[in-house]
């Protein structure tokens, strides 16, 4: 069976099961959302935001891109953060990176001609790797080096969000959390925590 067909059938089973267990569930969903957290994660298929924290529909406002980046010139990410902070008034922003990240690995390798858009997106990551060259070079295992850069990248994005005028202008500035997901254990590790309060 091809994938899309399997997903449609799975959705039918899931929606029936939820409705049987909680008859008001979808009616309530349709009334509006009030998520308490914005999740900024990587697009990687192995790091499904809601699944790894067991969140229900309505709990997380989600933005995902390659290597969980937030930059001021990214209209997509900026509009998501703006809506989350000013319209939804989320209390938390979670930046979640992960080990074995392909986007981070790419930033430690030569650019690929076939992926010009990816190259542009991860230019900041190359620059970040350059800033931490000594620490990264001291790590002998190439996989561990990628994982460490993924962690440094999370910390960098948390700092960017903390300094962002969008976040700072919030009526109630959210707390910003930096997490990394370890694929081998399926565990989240807290790396940093910041508040954008002035």
The catalytic residues are 42, 44, 46, 98, 101
Considering the complex, state which of residue 42 and residue 90 has its C-beta at the smaller distance from Zn ion.
42
Considering the complex, state which of residue 39 and residue 174 has its C-beta at the smaller distance from Zn ion.
39
> Pattern of binders to Zn ion over 41-60, x per CB under 5 A?
-x-x----------------
- Token duo for residue 114: 């076939």
| Signed CA dihedral, 54, 23, 11, 62: sign only | negative
Contacts of 164 (CB under 8 A, 6+ apart): 70, 72, 81, 196
Phi/psi at 93 (nearest 5 deg)? -120, 125
H or E segment to which residue 48 belongs: none
At closest approach, how far in Å is the CB of 108 from Zn ion?
Answer: 13
Site for Zn ion contains 85 (CB under 5 A): no
Site for Zn ion contains 95 (CB under 5 A): no
User: Residues in contact with Zn ion, total (CB under 5 A)?
Assistant: 4
Considering the complex, state which of residue 44 and residue 162 has its C-beta at the smaller distance from Zn ion.
44
Which of the ranges 9-17, 40-48, 130-138, 184-192 carries the binding residues for Zn ion, by CB under 5 A?
Answer: 40-48
At closest approach, how far in Å is the CB of 42 from Zn ion?
Answer: 3
b/e per residue 33-68 (b: at least 16 CB within 10 A): eebebbbbbbebeebebeebbeeeeebbbbbbbbbb
At closest approach, how far in Å is the CB of 51 from Zn ion?
Answer: 15
CA 125 – CA 104 distance, rounded (Å): 7
Considering the complex, state which of residue 2 and residue 45 has its C-beta at the smaller distance from Zn ion.
45
- Token duo for residue 115: 């992926």
Separation in Å, CA 137 to CA 11, 26, 43, 140:
46, 51, 27, 7
Using CB under 5 A, pick the residue from 101, 146, 167, 170 that binds Zn ion: 101
- Token duo for residue 49: 């935001």
At closest approach, how far in Å is the CB of 31 from Zn ion?
Answer: 34
Q: Which residues bind Zn ion (CB under 5 A)?
A: 42, 44, 101, 103
């Amino acid at each position: 069976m091809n994938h899309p067909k399997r997903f449609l059938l799975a959705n039918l089973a899931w929606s029936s099961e939820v409705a049987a267990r909680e008859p008001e569930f979808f009616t309530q969903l349709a009334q509006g959302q009030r998520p308490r957290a914005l999740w900024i994660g990587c697009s990687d298929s192995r790091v499904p935001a809601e699944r790894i924290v067991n969140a229900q529909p309505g709990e997380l406002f989600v933005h995902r891109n390659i290597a969980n980046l937030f930059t001021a010139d990214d209209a997509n990410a900026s509009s998501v953060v703006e809506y989350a902070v000013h319209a939804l008034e989320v209390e938390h922003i979670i930046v979640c990176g992960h080990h074995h990240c392909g986007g981070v690995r790419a930033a430690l390798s030569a650019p690929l001609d076939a992926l010009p858009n990816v190259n542009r997106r991860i230019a900041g990551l190359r620059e970040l790797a350059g800033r931490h060259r000594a620490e990264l070079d001291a790590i002998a295992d190439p996989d561990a080096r990628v994982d460490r850069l993924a962690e440094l990248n999370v910390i960098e994005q948390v700092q960017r969000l903390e300094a962002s005028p969008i976040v700072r202008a919030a009526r109630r500035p959210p707390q910003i959390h930096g997490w990394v997901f370890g694929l081998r254990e399926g565990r989240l590790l807290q790396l940093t925590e910041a508040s954008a309060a002035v």
